Each structure stands twice: as structure tokens, then as C-alpha cells.
Amino acid sequence: MRQQLKQALSQRRKQAITDPSRIPAAVLVPIYEKEGEYYILFIKRSEWVEKHKGEISFPGGVHEASDKSLLDTALRECAEEIGLAPEAVEILGELDDELSVKTNYVISPFVALIPWPYQFKVDGRETEEIIEAPLSALWNRGHSHQVIRDGERVTTYCYHYQGRVIWGATARILNKFLDIFAHATGIKRQK
């Protein structure tokens, strides 16, 4: 799967959003194999953060001046939020940039293979909890609907997992990732 996904990500052209009025941010889309099944890792944001309180998201955050790249941003944030060491991460590729409607962020997602088992450490300040979801629990469980945003018709997504709701930019990133993963591995996905 690793090589198939890496190849699928490298063969597509990333859709970058270059809008100087937006705040650059980056997230890691961490996947791993556990007991013969692939999992994806999410975090639940704490109530202490300024934005996205209590939401389910991928680990990541806003680009800082000390970050050399957006990939560095995603890796730094993962180390801070869940204790995932950058050297433990294998970057497989990038997904399309995604806008956060609720905030003014343009998010660059990086797909990464991470080790399992791993001794994660939730920081408690930005991250309240780590959520490990098998991909099979998400395949055909997303819901989409059309909304009008800034005069344009836009598709939004929502996923439910163990009583939690994954929505917004995270759900859009997840949907794109699941499409690419399904294509790379030959898994049929209903929409």
C-alpha cells in the first residue's frame, strides 16, 4: 500500500491556493497499519485553543516564521500536539490545499505513514484526545450536501465515527484522501 499511495500522490498535480490574504497553515494526515488494517489519526482540539475549540481535526497548525516550509509546520505541530517525532514520519505526498471557511486559513495537507505502535503524548493544551479510526469505518460513511458560499455552489462533507462528527476542512481533506487511497488500492468507494 505504501508504494501504491506514494505513486498515486506523486502522479497528481496538487491544486495550490495562493491567496496572500489567507493565513498559511499545514496538517499531517497520519496513517498507519495496525493488525492488518489501515488507520488514520485525528485529534480532538481542546477547549483552550483560540480557534476550532473541541473540533476533530488532523494534527497541525499555523505556519510560523521559524518554519522553513509548510511541511516543517505540520511536523512541528505534530511534535507539539501529540509527541510525534519528525524522524518517525515518512511523507508519502501532498493533497490539494484547502480553505477553512470558519477561519482565514489556507491549509496544506501532507499524507504521512507513521509507526505503530507509537508512544504518543497528548499535550493537553491544544489537543485533548487522539482518535484512531480504521479507514474501513469511514469508507462509505461520509455525507455530502450542497451549500451556496459566496454565490457559488460548494459540496460539503461530514463523517461520523464513534459519536464524533468530522466536518469542515478536515472532512474535505479526508474525502480527498479516501478517494486517492481507494484509487491507489483498488477499493470501491460509494459516494
Nearest CA-CA partner of 135 in 33, 59, 55: 33
pLDDT of residue 148: 74
Q: Is residue 191 part of a domain?
A: no
Q: Which residues of the chain have pLDDT under 50?
A: none
CA distance 168 to 68: 27
d(C-alpha 36, C-alpha 148), whole Å:
41
- pLDDT, residue 156, reads 83
Q: Kindly report each contact of residues 49-56 with a partner whose C-beta sits within 8 Å and lies 24 or more positions away, as own/partner.
A: 49/125, 49/126, 51/102, 51/103, 52/102, 52/103, 54/128, 55/167, 55/168, 55/170, 56/131, 56/164, 56/165, 56/166, 56/167, 56/170
Give the list of residues 6+ apart from residue 36 with CB closer than 8 angstroms, or none: none
Is position 32 within any domain? yes
Per the structure, the count of domains in the chain is 1
Contact between 58 and 170 under an 8 Å Cβ cutoff? The reply is yes
Question: Residue 176: beta bridge partners?
Answer: none
d(CA 32, CA 183): 18
Predicted local confidence at residue 1, as pLDDT: 85
Note whether residue 190 is domain-resident.
no
Q: What is the pLDDT of residue 155?
A: 78
Question: Residue 169 domain-assigned?
Answer: yes
Q: Whole domain around residue 87: which residue ranges? A: 2-185
Domain of 88, CATH number, reads: 3.90.79.10
In a domain, 61, yes or no: yes
